[in-house]
Structure 1
Amino acid sequence: MKQHQLKIHNTLSRKKELFEPLNPPFVGMYVCGPTVYGDAHLGHARPAVTFDTVYRYLGHLGYKVRYVRNITDVGHLTGDADEGEDKIAKKAKLEQLEPMEVAQQYTDSYHRDMDLLNTNKPNIEPRATGHIPEQIELVQSILDEGLAYEVNGSVYFDVLKYNETYKYGKLSGRVLEDLMSGSRELDGQGEKRNAADFALWKSAAPEHLMKWSSPWGIGFPGWHLECTAMSSKYLGKHFDIHGGGMDLMFPHHECEIAQGNACNHQDPAKYWMHNNMITINGQKMGKSLGNFITLQELFMGQHQLLEQAYSPMTIRYFILTAHYRSTLDFSNEALKAAQKGYKKIINGLRISQLLQYDNDDSVSLDENQVKQVENSIQSAYKAMDDDFNTAQAIGHLFNLLKKINSIYTGQLHPAQFGEDTFRQLIGTFSGFVTEILGLKEEKTDHQSALLDALLNIYGEAKTARNYDKVDEIRAKLKEIGIVVKDMKDKIDWAYEE
């Protein structure tokens, strides 16, 4: 395993901590996945890309990661707490479908969009509805600990009782007294002992579509319970990393910590990681606010806020150009800049695959060039080791790209770097782009064959001095974002930046 001083900002301690896995080289990582009642939007893409990059980098460092990301297909109510209708059941009624048809439809569309963003599939992707027995068992164990109570077929977590031994609010920084005094009376809270208490199991009304038998009657699990059940089943009672969006910190993750301590007598995770929000005009993007843009709308350019379509890799690159803990504001200008940056990176990736080392005895080793490459490589790794700072790492990759472009154009010679440094330059650049950042060229084999054929015709026209044909081909290719490059000894192409 490569020796790296990887530091992670732990939301729990509010500081960066040296990453020391519980059982190296194994790492357990649980990430909250989507509630599948609609198409994935840009806000869903951020945690998916963020934790895919974490997964990739940990693997790159030699860790063996078990990545678990759940699918929420029951229990997430419209109020994001203990009131309202189940989001999936509500959608099912609107579309006159079975709830599981809705869940399956949007799970499939989520997977389609995640594949387009080139995110790795998690090692395990459990569904809440597939773990009802485990959730019922958890409720019973919390009841047995005296930290929950049953009322009219519902079971609620007793936050005040819990707070006598543990600290409710330690993740989010919320103060229990403030939560108690600042809460308002909501539907379903009349049977709670305290407003801060939350549902572990809810009694289901006769018309409720998704319900199961339990020791307390017919009902369904609370939203927070599923993650405790599934993370502990597949990663153990205490695991390394728990990730998710910052909007889940409270109440969802706070309640997970409470449940974990109540039934397992320990925090679920050692490190808590939270990506920040994607905003539109400073406001969080989300389904509940109605200001979201689905990924398919982005890919096709079909939304009133979009000036054009943006490819999946442009979206991935856009997300990576900001540190995951900072807000990322949507704008066409930012996406166009990301599109340009992505094309530069991919042009560099293409070029790097064409370059060969040439040991020319007439060319001297340039120690200054060697040092610059080594510094850029070290800096790129240092950025990733500093809480996965992809934004800074990309900046250092552009320094490597300048060297690659200079070799390609003949301004620099491979022998000036020496064989080892030359191979490190090419290997680090391509490895970071594809293996760590997860970027790839968006071009099919069919497109490649057509492009090669056109360039052959272009070369023949140029040799025959048929300049009208040369200009016509250049213009046609430019229309689809391809620039022809006339080199000394060959004809090449690049994506227009």
Structure 2
Amino acid sequence: MHLFQHQQIKIYNSLTGQKETFKPINDSHVGMYVCGPTVYSNVHLGNVRTFMSFDMIFRYLKHLGFKVRFVRNITDAGHLENDADEGEDRIAKKARLEQIEPMEVVQRYTVDFHNILNKFNFLPPSIEPTATGHIIEQIELIKDIIDNGFAYKINGSVYFDVHKYNESHQYGILSKRNLEDLIHNTRELDGQSDKKNPQDFALWKKAEPQHIMRWPSPWSDGFPGWHLECTAMSTKYLGEQFDIHGGGMDLKFPHHECEIAQNEAAKGKSPVNYWMHANMLIMNGKKMAKSTGNYILPEEIFTGNNKNISKAFEPSVARFFMLQAHYRSILDFTDNGLLASEKGFYRLIDAINLLDDIKPSSTSTFNVSEWKQKCYDAMNDDFNSPILIANLFEAVKYINQIKDGSASITEEDLSTLKETINTFVFDILGLQNVSKESADTDKLSGAVELLIQLRHEARANKDFALSDKIRDQLAEAGIFLQDGKDGTSFTTN
């Protein structure tokens, strides 16, 4: 019997604005789609936080025994600047600035995206489709929307007719926006576009002569609208209706709103049962912005090479820090917050590593089965990772009391405690068993290797005084260099 038959999950559904009991369309299967990155630059830490929340959700659903098909796309075309219908494709713009092919931009930043997620110990999604790999599906979807009377062609472009759609459907159902208010708040721009109304959005754009990324279609050589790709890929792999669609809060309008409208217009069905939105990440109480320097790249957390943090942090420490906030709450990324999380993380790991040395006794002074269910209850309540972590620290306190001799545990309870804490910390939260000593050793090795490299350069430049100084000062610190035919190694004995 699967665990999900004993655990009832409640999910906050953005569509209804309330927590609802999760009932998948197919009993033991879950279809989940999450909007992935637009690969024109290094992945933003705020996006990493969103993807991390859904990685945790994916892990928990799998742990409960669901067969999860998790689809997370790569946007490698059609995403115009400022999420507009006019202007330049973000990837094409980067390609023009760097004088390389757009697909070189895509490859470079897709690799960076995967490298960063691997360091944070993400599970790969079941399917990772690209927008450029699904142009045909997008064209077919546009044909369906035109045939059903919800889109119009003009000068080689195709636009979704929001006003026509709103006559029989509710545009704004997800973001709780009213079309009348949207009309009132839209500025009229001279020669804005070929659109009938400013609220209409592009399904297909005719490419200007200078536009590099283009594909043939029945309407023109052009490219698909950004909103369309997610509708095409989610429904291709998960069906016309599926269980969960996730993304950042900033995607609710217009991106996710448009996805609902496109699916209703093409297939006559609302595509998703549970819409989930992760909240934003701020830094030092303010919005992250490169222009003000209030900004950090994920890689800079691991190297410490950023003025906003005092040192380098292990990926698992940063992951632990982010999961200490609920995915629907704003998280303020600060150096003090990371430092506090680092202490908590190592307390947790140290307690887990103590479990192997604990000797059971005839009685338990802690109700392990009740504690175990509290851990499940936290995750079942809209994936409440901060409450789960608070429960894990109850166990940490108990483990330390057993070690001190002020508490005891039976063999059966010890086995349950071990299995449960390992499952929640490593399998569900996705943390890694990094001890403080091994993390410090890794950092020491990196620093010494750098000094060895500098010493080699000094010797190559015949600066033997500097070479000897590096060797002697390392020796004074208890680090001894050994030159051999295979290069230089070091010992700390």
Alignment TM-score > 0.5, same fold: yes
Q: How many residue pairs are counted as aligned between the two chains? A: 443
Instruction: After superposition, give the CA deviation of every residue in 1:289-321 in whole Å (9 maximum; x if it has no partner).
Output: 974311011211112222222221111111100
The answer as to 2:428 corresponding to 1:436 is: yes
The answer as to 2:75 corresponding to 1:72 is: yes
Aligned partner of 2:126 among 120, 123, 126? 123
Deviation at 1:81, TM superposition (A): 2.2
More off after superposition, 288-297 vs 241-250: 288-297
- C-alpha change, 1:190 and 1:449, in structure 2 (3 Å) is closer
Q: Name the residue aligned to 2:491.
A: none
Q: Name the residue aligned to 2:248.
A: 245
Q: Name the residue aligned to 2:264.
A: 261
Once the two structures are superposed, the pairs formed by residues 213-228 of structure 1 within 5 Å of their partners are 213-228=216-231
Once the two structures are superposed, the pairs formed by residues 274-289 of structure 1 within 5 Å of their partners are 274-285=277-288
- C-alpha change, 1:188 and 1:345, in structure 2 (3 Å) is farther
Could you say what secondary structure the match of 2:31 adopts? strand
Aligned letter for 1:48?
Answer: F
- C-alpha change, 1:198 and 1:283, in structure 2 (3 Å) is farther
- C-alpha change, 1:243 and 1:48, in structure 2 (3 Å) is same
The answer as to 2:155 corresponding to 1:152 is: yes
Aligned letter for 2:381?
Answer: D
More off after superposition, 180-189 vs 161-170: 180-189
Instruction: After superposition, give the CA deviation of every residue in 1:386-406 in whole Å (9 maximum; x if it has no partner).
Output: 000000100000001112222
Gaps of 5+ in 1: 452-474, 478-497
Deviation at 1:412, TM superposition (A): 3.0
- C-alpha change, 1:136 and 1:399, in structure 2 (3 Å) is same
Q: Aligned partners of 2:442 and 2:188: how far apart in 1? A: 65
Could you say what secondary structure the match of 1:242 adopts? strand
Q: Name the residue aligned to 1:345.
A: 348
Q: Aligned partners of 1:381 and 1:186: how far apart in 2? A: 53
Aligned partner of 2:314 among 311, 316, 324? 311
More off after superposition, 387-396 vs 440-449: 440-449
Once the two structures are superposed, the pairs formed by residues 59-98 of structure 1 within 5 Å of their partners are 59-98=62-101
Could you say what secondary structure the match of 2:167 adopts? coil
More off after superposition, 309-318 vs 64-73: 309-318
Instruction: After superposition, give the CA deviation of every residue in 1:389-437 in whole Å (9 maximum; x if it has no partner).
Output: 0001000000011122222344333xxx322222111111111100110
The answer as to 2:395 corresponding to 1:407 is: no
Q: Aligned partners of 2:287 and 2:170: how far apart in 1? A: 29
The answer as to 2:24 corresponding to 1:21 is: yes
* Contact 2:35-2:247 within 8 A present in 1 as well: yes
Q: Name the residue aligned to 1:355.
A: 357
Aligned partner of 2:139 among 127, 136, 142? 136
Aligned partner of 1:423 among 407, 410, 415? 415
Could you say what secondary structure the match of 2:20 adopts? strand
TM-score by length of 1: 0.85
Q: Name the residue aligned to 2:463.
A: none
Once the two structures are superposed, the pairs formed by residues 320-339 of structure 1 within 5 Å of their partners are 320-339=323-342
Instruction: After superposition, give the CA deviation of every residue in 1:194-219 in whole Å (9 maximum; x if it has no partner).
Output: 11110000110010010111000111
Instruction: After superposition, give the CA deviation of every residue in 1:153-200 in whole Å (9 maximum; x if it has no partner).
Output: 110000010011110001001111111111123587431111111000
* Contact 2:148-2:265 within 8 A present in 1 as well: yes
- C-alpha change, 1:8 and 1:446, in structure 2 (3 Å) is closer
Q: Name the residue aligned to 2:375.
A: 380
Could you say what secondary structure the match of 2:282 adopts? strand
Aligned letter for 1:165?
Answer: S
* Contact 1:77-1:86 within 8 A present in 2 as well: yes
Could you say what secondary structure the match of 2:81 adopts? coil
More off after superposition, 190-199 vs 436-445: 436-445
* Contact 2:77-2:89 within 8 A present in 1 as well: yes
Q: Name the residue aligned to 1:236.
A: 239
* Contact 1:277-1:284 within 8 A present in 2 as well: no
Q: Aligned partners of 2:259 and 2:191: how far apart in 1? A: 21
Q: Name the residue aligned to 2:384.
A: 389
Q: Name the residue aligned to 2:488.
A: none
TM-score by length of 2: 0.86
* Contact 1:277-1:285 within 8 A present in 2 as well: no
- C-alpha change, 1:301 and 1:326, in structure 2 (3 Å) is same
Aligned letter for 1:228?
Answer: T
Deviation at 1:123, TM superposition (A): 0.5
Q: Aligned partners of 1:63 and 1:424: how far apart in 2? A: 22
Q: Aligned partners of 2:14 and 2:191: how far apart in 1? A: 31
Gaps of 5+ in 2: 444-476, 480-493
Q: Name the residue aligned to 1:209.
A: 212
Aligned partner of 1:199 among 195, 199, 202? 202
Instruction: After superposition, give the CA deviation of every residue in 1:246-272 in whole Å (9 maximum; x if it has no partner).
Output: 000000000000001111111111000
Q: Aligned partners of 1:449 and 1:290: how far apart in 2? A: 31
Deviation at 1:356, TM superposition (A): 5.1
Aligned letter for 2:19?
Answer: K
Q: Aligned partners of 1:201 and 1:290: how far apart in 2? A: 37
Once the two structures are superposed, the pairs formed by residues 178-193 of structure 1 within 5 Å of their partners are 178-186=181-189, 189-193=192-196
Deviation at 1:286, TM superposition (A): 6.0
The answer as to 2:377 corresponding to 1:398 is: no
Q: Aligned partners of 2:159 and 2:219: how far apart in 1? A: 12
Could you say what secondary structure the match of 2:395 adopts? helix
- C-alpha change, 1:112 and 1:135, in structure 2 (3 Å) is same
Q: Name the residue aligned to 1:458.
A: none
- C-alpha change, 1:355 and 1:443, in structure 2 (3 Å) is closer
Instruction: After superposition, give the CA deviation of every residue in 1:42-87 in whole Å (9 maximum; x if it has no partner).
Output: 1121111100000010011111100000000001111212122111
* Contact 2:349-2:435 within 8 A present in 1 as well: no
Q: Aligned partners of 2:351 and 2:235: how far apart in 1? A: 43
Question: RMSD of the TM alignment (CA)?
Answer: 2.3
Q: Name the residue aligned to 2:363.
A: 365
Deviation at 1:370, TM superposition (A): 3.5
Instruction: After superposition, give the CA deviation of every residue in 1:466-491 in whole Å (9 maximum; x if it has no partner).
Output: xxxxxxxxx989xxxxxxxxxxxxxx
